Structure 1
Amino acid sequence: MLPVDARLTSTSDFARATKSGIRVTSQHFVGYLYISPVTNNATAKCGLIISKSVGGSVKRHRVARKVRHAVAPMISNLPTGSLLVIRALTQEGDSNIECEISDLISKLITRAEKISAKQ
């Protein structure tokens, strides 16, 4: 479970991350990472987008639980004040969600480091 201060709940924050953030895709997920230009001591926040294309209610909630469980230990690796949004795509079978999410987040972090090094 994600701590309350690490949950992304604002619609404007979701829009900011998905429209202005760094995007990385994997087989079953799309990750967006928005790094705030203003340096603040706020913790990184994470939000999920699980649409009906993933499956029925039970399957969507199962995927959301697995994603939250995979993201929780990695939230401390994200830059402070950043916004992470993970969008689930159609799920076929039972994929290894934990491994895929950790790869997705590490790719987002490395891409963010490359972009910040250029600036």
Structure 2
Amino acid sequence: MSKAVGIAVIRNLVKRRLRHLMRDRLDQLPAGSLVVVRALPGAGEADHDQLARDLDTALQRLLGGAPRCSGPPGDTPRSPGRGPGGSAR
């Protein structure tokens, strides 16, 4: 965990909270899944409930429950160097 999260005491608190929160959500993941949870700098200032909401949002995105971008429908990112329809230019 990055020192940007806070001093060692805060980093360990965040680590314990995230571990506890994730333990309660493991049944949402497919069997054999490997997940890395990364605490961002603001995690040190977040309370338990905020961490839980953020973790739930991240898991929903991971499992396909929420859209990843807010662009108009049909506006999907394309690979660089590809023209319309995915063909090479």
1:99 has 2:53 as partner: yes
Candidates 54, 57, 61, aligned match of 2:5: 54
Two-structure CA RMSD over aligned residues (Å): 1.6
Q: Residue 87 of structure 1 corresponds to which residue in structure 2? A: 38
Q: Residue 18 of structure 2 corresponds to which residue in structure 1? A: 67
Query: Which structure is larger by alpha-carbon Rg, 1 or 2?
Result: 2
State the 4+ residue runs in structure 1 displaced beyond 3 angstroms: none
Greater strand share, structure number: 1
Q: How many residues align?
A: 62
Q: Residue 40 of structure 1 corresponds to which residue in structure 2? A: none
Structure 2: segments with no counterpart, 5+ residues = 66-89
Candidates 77, 81, 86, aligned match of 2:28: 77
After TM superposition, list the pairs within 5 Å mapping 1:7-22 onto structure 2. Answer: none
Task: State the Cα distance separating 1:70 from its structure 2 match.
Answer: 1.2
Classify the secondary structure of the residue corresponding to 1:68.
helix
TM-score where L is the length of structure 2: 0.62
Equivalent-residue separation in structure 2 for 1:79 and 1:102 (angstroms): 16
